[in-house]
Structure 1
Amino acid sequence: MDELVEHVDEQDEVLGVVDRAEAIRQGWLHRIATIVCHDEDGRFLVHRRPDDSSRFPGQYNWMLGGAADVGESYEEAAARELAEELGVHAAPRFVLKFLCSGAISPYWLGLHEVVITGPVRPNVQEVAWHDWLTESELESLVRQQKFVPDAREAFDRYRNLSRPDESLS
């Protein structure tokens, strides 16, 4: 077994511990923690995945993250992934969680956000390129084909939270 994760059900309750590759092959639900990074001007960090990445090579994403380890909360996993992928030590704030159908397999996605005030040191095994984009620039990029599909769904859900339907007021 390589990477162990918690196999969870439709209510995000733990059923057992499994190998992540097996969870993906079998379509078993597991937990993924993601982080949306903002700078002090409110811009979003966007990155391109390395061309040799096993998942979504060369595609753009507005989230960093990965699988939650066994016994790890979404928040703990988000903080760990932030440190591993950007070299930033902070406590990301939980924003939302949803059952993502996933382009590769289904999973629970916990989305967090953090404001980064200092320099970032991207891990080249995870981030081939990065830049800070305005919301409108990100909106344009999200609709492109070379954007991670699951990240597109998360972006739409995030936008719906921050922009409730004004016709209801």
Structure 2
Amino acid sequence: MDEWVERVDGRDRLLGVVSRREAIREGWLHRVAVMVCRDERGRILVHRRSEQASRFPGLHEVEVGGAARVGESYEQAAARELAEELGIRALPRLLFAFINRGGLSPHWLGVHEAVVPDAMVPDPDEVAWHGWLTEPELDSVLLEWRFTPDSHEALSR
């Protein structure tokens, strides 16, 4: 089942409502919200997407997220996606948003961060594996493991 998203312009202003599939196919800007999660020790959550994931199956990510639904703010979308994918609740803090031209299609990417508990219940349809890495460990695996385009873009900023 496809989801409905808000098509936006280069200034992130609403143009209309479209299906996400159509936005990707046509290369229309829409909003995606992601959250970089840290534990209380400062380690970063890294996970590998399930092989059944519709986008980037089997690749690693440093963020949890997805498309913002119609009427959702970046923060609301990031919090909803965190609850859906990892079974935890946290208050996201928006770090920045930018037009990301990598990946399947161009989109506005709202990057958030939050401190989350170690205990989580990942959705197996979304997450095949997860672990906590220090920043030096993450720097090392970024050269060895395959990561999603959004992960590289978010980390480079």
> For this structure pair, what is the TM-score category when the shorter chain's length is used for normalisation?
over 0.9
User: What's the CA shift string for 1:81-128, capped at 9, x where partnerless?
Assistant: 110011111211111111100221000000111101351111111110
User: What's the CA shift string for 1:121-163, capped at 9, x where partnerless?
Assistant: 1111111000000001111222346111221011110xxxxxx
Pairing 1:1-169 to 2, within 5 Å after superposition: 2-144=2-144, 146-157=146-157
Richer in helix (by share): 1
Flag the structure with larger Rg. 1
Q: Look up the SS of the partner of 1:98 in the other structure.
A: strand
What is the CA distance between 1:32 and its match in structure 2?
0.2
TM-score (norm 1): 0.89
Richer in strand (by share): 2
Q: Look up the SS of the partner of 1:128 in the other structure.
A: strand
Query: Tell me, which stretches of 5 or more residues in structure 2 are unaligned?
Result: none
Q: Which amino acid aligns with 1:89?
A: R
Off by >4 Å, runs of 4+ in structure 1:
none
Tell me the distance in 2 between the aligned counterparts of 1:51 and 1:20.
21
Report the number of matched residues.
Answer: 157
Tell me the distance in 2 between the aligned counterparts of 1:105 and 1:55.
12
Tell me the distance in 1 between the aligned counterparts of 2:143 and 2:28.
28
TM-score (norm 2): 0.96
| Sequence identity percentage | 59
Tell me the distance in 2 between the aligned counterparts of 1:118 and 1:16.
39
Q: Look up the SS of the partner of 2:124 in the other structure.
A: coil
